[in-house]
Structure 1
């Protein structure tokens, strides 16, 4: 009962945090265009600027995600959740105050820096928290429920934004980000002590009291990265999962970096239409992850469900790329009902290959792999998007960059078909003498 209570507080924390961050997503494209290219529906500057932000964020999260995951194994999930949840408040507060060009540039700079810590770290640590409290045979369903709660927050945030003004959306988002932080600090109980890992933190703390502090800390950081590389070499399943995570993330980042600019240029979408599209995506994803996924995992297994999700993700992206009318985009959004299976299944497969004291390390490693895709994506897709939305396109295909994103996800789908998960090894970790497949 105590574990279930801890999970319920985690789910509420994740919902409140995601509600605050997702509710500004429909408005941010209009805010960016108004600040940089007022009165225009297509602007290459905004595409490249968002691409630069995405690449810089990817570089930061490439380092920070494995580090945050490792540190959460040592110092606790609750402690490491505090930093990203606090930093999220700052950029939201800037746009809540003003959305003029000067404040937008301040938001852009601070958001880029804070995203290095915040980008994916809350989700990464939340997954590790769930893995601490849920047995292996129920973990895929639990990850699906966690993802479904994020989708539910996505729906509620976008639905709320649909009926309020842009200034109010940023003000409410800032307030909700504060509420989520306070709720987490008051109600969420630490899970890592239940695994006996707190002794590791004590040992490390005593080590820091000895000898040159800077050298010890540097050694610890280098040791964390060595552990990350050990994870990738620990089993063929883990390395295959990393490949799937990279290409899936690369395709998804390519889609989302281009989709809003494509829809605004082609069909003149605004905040309300973006919110409608995201609500459809979110409702479909929520129902699938919270209702269908717990039923399908025991029947067909995580590996097959992963491949199924990636296959429909390809179809989902292709439909966006060939949209000839706004209704096609709404129809494409419905396919997210089947496309959302991939993420939770992949994370569950990964969690079963790692010992109970290394869940944060494992989830951080996969998040770090996704961050590499975040770096590569704008280098490829931002120029493609800007080119094919401009008057200088080599041929008439405004959604060509989105079609390329579907080809990348297809690579992940093919890799997922080849992936075989060996028996779970949660009784040992990468530092033990277990024989891994």
Structure 2
């Protein structure tokens, strides 16, 4: 492989350690919350995902009530400025080092590393006390920041193109002149956004940026509906499984680990193999179809083992996010990689906000004894509707892009 692979190797390690330290604290934060502000047998219904270094250092020092509130204030302030930054910058960094036709595989590896961090962090937390968990997480996060500053080289903000074979760390052999010319042809057929003007972009600039091409607007729409459906599923699933099958916390943990392990397996092994063959558009359609199947199996589950079967479809639904990121990356200019990935992250966050607001009351209504009908999985199926909408949009976008490519080829032949 090309020597530039070492650059992505450093990035993968940074991304893994970041998620390892982030997800390690999730099992412990519930116990800390109970001890700090919730004495007695009251159940804690809120989950929190601390992702940045200061919060972990706060609870690593002390877990009293005062430190607990300092932790949440630091989390809110850091989240306003930093939420999603790590993912957007890492995707942009990969885009600067990998050719457009190979980015789907690279983004899949990056997402798989994230899933590996989740699995490793969750398993590690099972063997650590609450006090040690936050100390280890803070130490790993600090080491990650130092490692990033020392070993990860700056990309310079210039993306690889299909003709730049030397900067593709995933390319194992030089391509022939025939494939090179075909890649150049594909590059010309891809829609390109106009160069983004210097300075801080306004809301109108962002709207123009998102609607500047079919690929970008389609990716933004699919991201929104996918995020809305995923957060709706996450909001309702645990309560639904508890009410329908009496799942305990151990069964919840097993289900989450199955989901994470399946996603990690898919993104680290399956998708890098299929991406160069099928392309990110086909993988996106397959992933959304798998996501629809997964959600509807949850909603109509007739036995306690059906949710475990449904979780296996994560192997397919894990294709969605890397495929969207790769499709966006290849359709924007080199100086717009960061802002494009940031837009997708922002839209995903917006869907994540709306999801619980919509599905929390809907789930409570569906699970209540006074509901108009006895169908506890109703809110799950409603979440699946948003995934179906995203699936339909991906099919229409695929058809429109194929028609545009055929039209361009005909015009080139006539010329």
TM-score (norm 1): 0.74
Report SS of the residue matched to 2:153: coil
* Structure 2 residue 280 is matched with structure 1 residue 302: yes
Q: Does 1:269 align with 2:269?
A: no
Distance 1:117 1:391, change over 3 A: farther
- For the 8 Å contact 2:112–2:265, the answer to whether it is kept is yes
Partner of 1:233: 211
Q: CA deviation at 1:371?
A: 2.2
**Greater relative contact order (Cα 8 A, min sep 6): structure 1 or 2?**
1
Whole-Å separation in 2 of the counterparts to 1:226 and 1:308: 33
Is 1:356 matched with 2:358? Answer: no
1:308 Cα offset (Å): 0.9
Structure 1 residues 115-124 or 305-314, which shifts more? 115-124
Structure 2 residue 199 is the aligned partner of structure 1 residue 220: yes
RMSD: 3.0
Find the counterpart in structure 1 of residue 78 from structure 2.
114
Q: Secondary structure at the match of 2:248?
A: coil
Instruction: Tell me the residue number matched to 2:385.
Output: 407
Asked if 2 retains the 8 angstrom alpha-carbon contact of 1:381 and 1:401, the reply is yes
Q: Which runs of 5 or more structure 1 residues have no equivalent in the other structure?
A: 55-84, 197-218, 424-437
TM-score computed with the length of structure 2 as normaliser: 0.77
**Contact 1:308/1:338, CA 8 A, preserved across alignment:** yes
Distance 1:422 1:268, change over 3 A: closer
How far residue 157 of structure 1 moved from its aligned partner, in angstroms, is 1.2
Q: 1:145 to 1:96 in 2, by over 3 A?
A: same
The secondary structure found in structure 1 opposite 2:211 is helix
- Output the CA distance in 2 between the equivalents of 1:119 and 1:241: 20
- Name the CA distance, whole Å, in 2 between partners of 1:301 and 1:193: 25
Please name the residue that 2:21 is paired with.
20
Cα separation, 2, equivalents of 1:260 and 1:100 = 29
Per mean C-alpha deviation after superposition, the further-off stretch among 32-41 and 143-152 is 32-41
Aligned partners of 1:327 and 1:338: how far apart in 2?
A: 19
Residue 313 of structure 1 is matched in structure 2 by 291
* Other-structure match for 1:434: none
* 1:39 equivalenced with 2:41 (yes/no): yes
SS at match of 1:192: coil
The aligned residue for residue 178 of structure 1 is 142
- CA shift at 1:412, angstroms? 0.6
* Correspondence 1:417 to 2:399: no
- Residue 116 of structure 1: CA displacement? 2.7
Map of 1:5 onto structure 2: 6
SS in 2 for 1:419: helix
Judge conservation of contact 1:158–1:276 (CA < 8 Å) in 2: no
Match for residue 193 of structure 2?
none
Partner of 1:385: 363
Matched, 1:343 2:294: no
Determine whether 1:145 maps to 2:109.
yes
- After superposition, the Cα gap between the structure-2 partners of 1:259 and 1:24, relative to the gap in structure 1 and judged at 3 Å, is farther
Question: Residues 148 and 103 of structure 1: is their aligned pair in 2 closer, same or farther, counting only changes over 3 Å?
Answer: same
| TM-fit CA distance, 1:380 | 0.5
Whether contact under 8 Å (1:277, 1:330) holds in the other structure is: yes
Q: Is the 8 A contact 2:10 2:152 kept in 1?
A: yes
- Alpha carbons of structure 1 residues 170 and 386: separation in structure 2 relative to 1, 3 Å: farther
C-alpha distance in 1, partners of 2:203/2:379? 34
Counterpart of 2:163 in structure 1 is none
Unaligned runs of 5+ in 2: 161-197, 403-415
**C-alpha contact (below 8 Å) 1:159/1:276 kept by paired residues:** no
Contact 1:161 / 1:275 at 8 angstroms: preserved in 2? no
More helix by share: 1
Contact 2:158 2:334 in 1 (8 A): no
1:52-63 matches, cutoff 5 A? none
Greater C-alpha radius of gyration? 2
Quickly say closer, same or farther: Cα 1:195–1:242, change in 2 above 3 A. closer
